């Protein structure tokens, strides 16, 4: 296939899929069939007249093509495009989410936060990071089993998803540690969000071996006062989290 033909097909496929997302399946087929009718009319009728036929004959041929073959062809093509697009989205969603908790993964976190960076790879002031670590996770696994530990991680994720805003970027950072970027959030606001998150955890328990197990988490908070690299801000939050752990866990520490 010639490169020009490939470009035309790619453009037509994207237009078809874009229209489907705007108006739906049936309306897309009807709309493109109507467009095809008027477009083909400009071709078939002159050719038919040059061959000695009449305008009426050309119109009849065009009507037959655009009410039978064209809708069927569009149905087949659009069905395939929708299926491929759905599969593509499922593959992409799988690639950016943690398999266990379904939170975003570390890779997506850094992809999503890149839009905040300027040309010097610095993030703006009043950007905050929360590092959240489930307390005594190893003890929980050793005492109640890894299935219980998995439930604890899932529960933490569910509670965080309920707490954070749509503009925040929440992800599993590794092991029992989670990270959340809070754009346009100053130090006081970030600390308040961390406080509400911690309070919500304290209200949650999970059942295992007939016992109600409370969940607690330590949270490190860091906020940029000037433009700085995201890695430096995460390092500050990590230091804050380390202090929270050293001071007895189940607490919030800010830098």
221 neighbors 240 (Cβ within 8 angstroms): yes
The helices-and-strands tally (H runs, E runs) of the chain is 9, 7
149 neighbors 141 (Cβ within 8 angstroms): yes
Active site residue 168: no
Write down the catalytic residue from 93, 176, 232, 238: 176
d(CA 226, CA 187): 12
215 neighbors 205 (Cβ within 8 angstroms): yes
The structure tokens 């006081």 sit at: 188
Residue 171, SS3? strand
Catalytic residues: 176
């Amino acid at each position: 296939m010639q490169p020009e033909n490939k470009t035309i097909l790619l453009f037509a496929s994207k237009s078809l899929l874009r229209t489907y997302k705007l108006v739906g399946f049936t309306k897309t087929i009807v709309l493109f069939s109507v467009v095809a009718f008027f477009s083909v009319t400009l071709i078939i009728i002159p050719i038919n007249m040059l061959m000695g036929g009449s305008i009426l004959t050309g119109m009849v041929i065009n009507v037959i093509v655009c009410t039978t073959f064209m809708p069927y062809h569009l149905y087949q093509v659009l069905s395939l495009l929708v299926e491929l697009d759905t599969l593509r989205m499922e593959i992409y969603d799988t690639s950016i989410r943690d398999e266990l908790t379904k939170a975003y993964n570390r890779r997506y976190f850094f992809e999503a936060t890149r839009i905040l960076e300027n040309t010097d790879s610095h993030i703006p002031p009043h950007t905050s990071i929360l590092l959240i670590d489930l307390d005594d996770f190893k003890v929980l696994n050793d005492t109640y089993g890894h299935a219980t530990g998995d439930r604890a991680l899932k529960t933490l994720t569910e509670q965080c998803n309920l707490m954070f805003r749509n503009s925040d970027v929440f992800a599993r950072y590794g092991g029992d540690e989670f990270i959340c970027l809070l754009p346009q959030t100053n130090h006081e606001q970030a600390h308040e969000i961390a406080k509400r998150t911690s309070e919500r955890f304290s209200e949650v328990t999970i059942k295992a071996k007939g016992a109600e197990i409370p969940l607690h988490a330590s949270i490190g908070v860091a906020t940029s006062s000037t433009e700085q690299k995201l890695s430096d801000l995460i390092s500050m939050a990590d230091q804050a989290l380390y202090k929270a752990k050293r001071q007895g866990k189940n607490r919030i520490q800010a830098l």
